[in-house]
Amino acid sequence: MSQNNDRDYDVCVIGSGAGAGPIISELSKAGKSVLVLEKGPWLHNNDFFKDELACCRRSTYTPNLQDEQHVLEEAGYDGQWVSEASSESGWDFWNGNVVGGASNFMSGFFYRLKPKDFHLKSEFGEIAGANVVDWPISYDELEPYYSKVETEVGISGRVVAHKFQEPRSREDFPYPPTLEHPVVKIIDHACQQLNLSSLPTPRAILSRPANGRNSCEYSGYCGSYGCSSGAKGSARAALIDQAVASGFCELRDNSHVYKLKSDASGKVIEALYYDADNKPRAVTAKLFVVACHAIETSRLLLASDGPRHPQGLGNNYQQLGKNLLFSAGGSGTGEFHYDQLDRLDMDGISADALKTRGPFVNRGLQDWYFIDDKAFGGQAKGGLIDFLLRHPNPISRAMSVRWNSDDNLNWGDALKRDLKSTFTSAQDLRFEVFNDWLPTDDCFVSLDKNVKDKYGQAVAKVRLGYHPHDLKVGRYLADKAEMVLQQMGAKNIRSSVSGSPPANLVAGGCRFGNNIKSSVLDANCKVHDVDNLFVTDGSFMPTGGSVPYTWTIYANSFRVADKIKTLL
């Protein structure tokens, strides 16, 4: 039996990442009593180090897959769906189960959506086999909140006019750009020659101290690592720490919510959870907000059946968990060999400058965010190209030479030669392509019938199908990016575009809309037929845009916080 000896809170928030942070912060500021239940531990700035084992090779910030996992379903060669538990495959879909969630581990590479992203169906028409719909809100409704994220979370950048620049209410970013790596000079030069607009990348990283947070220390290890200076705009450092300090917010870590209990009227009355000692507990609140990262949000609602919601909360029209989104695209690399730099037009950039570690490669291309090219097939939604250096993690780099060309393990003197060469002969400039992962009937979350987590609850099963159009757009963009590397004089240029989903870029599953029969949430991100339940992580997105989701998730959560304030 669960015990409930808690007070009745105004709001109970489940999860503490980017979708939860603004709700927590805004409602605490408004003097509401807020309880946050986070399944992971509460780590602070001084718990984060540049430790590759901790960040990237052990399950430090995510559950052990034997305890909690996913079942992943991919298309087999014969057209059948083949499912495998992640404890078997090692394919880990967790993204940071700690206070602040996955926002602790982002590289803070932030872009807004563009006005047309809010009505892709009207703009570009139907794509057969895809469930593209217009959003129930416009860019103009979200713009003030995009702007709010710039100051509240802290975004550094510099606005440069270009053909697809979205409208802004603030002229420029509140913080100047983060320091830039010398390689940007060569990128800019090549783009100029190709008549492209190389754009400074906005980052949710403070370039000067503000609000009790330090400025970036430019260690050169950012993505995948928790931030020790507090400069990175995680929900924890930017929003939650202050909310807790205000006295209006209580945060319970190691508290895993497994069910939301609803009454005969269909309203949510209790959140049931296991505390740090694995004891079942319950808590009541006037209003509940779920933001557990897209897959887990759908899982929790699916597991939360009740008298008016026999198939899970908000699932009376079988929309829950559907139209899950990832980021489509791919990545590529070109090499700059230190002993061949004199043959290139390097703008005076030396090998030592190329080896610089610390500053960011703040450059991206949006020249093909919308495609208008007969060779492609006319007008279409395109995407974004982002440039970055190879991640500095040395173990993963060394692992890349652990097999030799005969597919045998590489060892002895040959291994040492390859290690020396891969570490010291060249700088790798990489790019990543981001384009829309079209929503389809083949990408969704359900509850697995067999596999349970350590609490005995059904784990999420995720079908990972993609639309072939995603690959067509991704390839188009990757070819453009390769062209830039070519112009720069990079060697050994290659790229890959695939339908393999990046587990750290997930959205959808509870898309918002005006019709209960084709969406889970209404335009305010309230579950259509539940009066006191909101979803504020990336689950609400019907289409994902062609940029990382985090800025949009933050902005939407600020928007929903304003709606909730009028209800309490």
Residues between 277 and 306 that touch other proteins (CB under 8 A): 277-278
Name the residue among 52, 17, 10, 56 with its Cα closest to residue 35: 10
Binding mask 36-75 for other proteins (x = CB under 8 A): ----xx-x---x-xxxxxx-xxxxxxxxxxxx--------
Does position 155 bind other proteins by CB under 8 A? no
Name the residue among 180, 182, 216, 232 with its Cα closest to residue 359: 180
Distance in angstroms (rounded) separating the CA atoms of residues 105 and 20: 16
- Which pair of tokens denotes residue 316? 């009376």
C-beta closer to other proteins: residue 443 or 525: 443
Piece of 222-230, 342-350, 485-493, 538-546 that binds other proteins (CB under 8 A): 222-230
Residues between 22 and 41 that touch other proteins (CB under 8 A): 40-41
Distance in angstroms (rounded) separating the CA atoms of residues 568 and 565: 6
Q: How far is the CB of 64 from other proteins (least distance, A)?
A: 7
Piece of 413-421, 482-490, 526-534, 553-561 that binds other proteins (CB under 8 A): 413-421
C-beta closer to other proteins: residue 7 or 57: 57
Q: How far is the CB of 59 from other proteins (least distance, A)?
A: 6
Binding mask 443-482 for other proteins (x = CB under 8 A): ----------------------------------------
Distance in angstroms (rounded) separating the CA atoms of residues 461 and 324: 12
C-beta closer to other proteins: residue 465 or 502: 502
Name the residue among 466, 390, 468, 482 with its Cα closest to residue 433: 482
The DSSP output letter for 101 is G
Residues between 228 and 257 that touch other proteins (CB under 8 A): 228, 254
Distance in angstroms (rounded) separating the CA atoms of residues 425 and 335: 9
Collect all residues with Cβ–Cβ distance below 8 Å to 483 and sequence separation of at least 6.
Answer: 194
SS3 of residue 435 by DSSP: strand
Distance in angstroms (rounded) separating the CA atoms of residues 348 and 185: 10
C-beta closer to other proteins: residue 396 or 524: 396
Q: Give the number of other Cβ atoms within 10 Å of residue 8's Cβ.
A: 12
Piece of 241-249, 310-318, 415-423, 524-532 that binds other proteins (CB under 8 A): 415-423
- Hey, which residues does 332 pair with through a beta bridge? 431, 495
Tell me how many residues contact other proteins (CB under 8 A): 75
The one-letter amino acid code at 236 reads R
Name the residue among 61, 67, 70 with its Cα closest to residue 92: 70
Residues between 252 and 281 that touch other proteins (CB under 8 A): 254, 276-278
Decide if 434 contacts 546 (C-beta within 8 A).
Answer: yes
Residues between 319 and 358 that touch other proteins (CB under 8 A): 331, 355, 357
Does position 220 bind other proteins by CB under 8 A? yes
Residues between 506 and 565 that touch other proteins (CB under 8 A): 548
SS3 of residue 464 by DSSP: strand
**Strand extents, DSSP E, 423-471:** 426-436, 443-452, 458-464
Does position 109 bind other proteins by CB under 8 A? yes
Residues between 481 and 510 that touch other proteins (CB under 8 A): 502-505
C-beta closer to other proteins: residue 25 or 504: 504
Q: How far is the CB of 263 from other proteins (least distance, A)?
A: 32
Piece of 90-98, 159-167, 366-374, 556-564 that binds other proteins (CB under 8 A): 90-98
Q: Which of 310, 408, 456, 468 binds other proteins (CB under 8 A)?
A: 408
C-beta closer to other proteins: residue 256 or 322: 256
Site of tokens 């393990």: 409
Decide if 96 contacts 104 (C-beta within 8 A).
Answer: yes
Does position 140 bind other proteins by CB under 8 A? no
Binding mask 177-206 for other proteins (x = CB under 8 A): ------------------------------
Q: Are strands 458-464 and 71-75 parallel, antiparallel or unpaired?
A: parallel
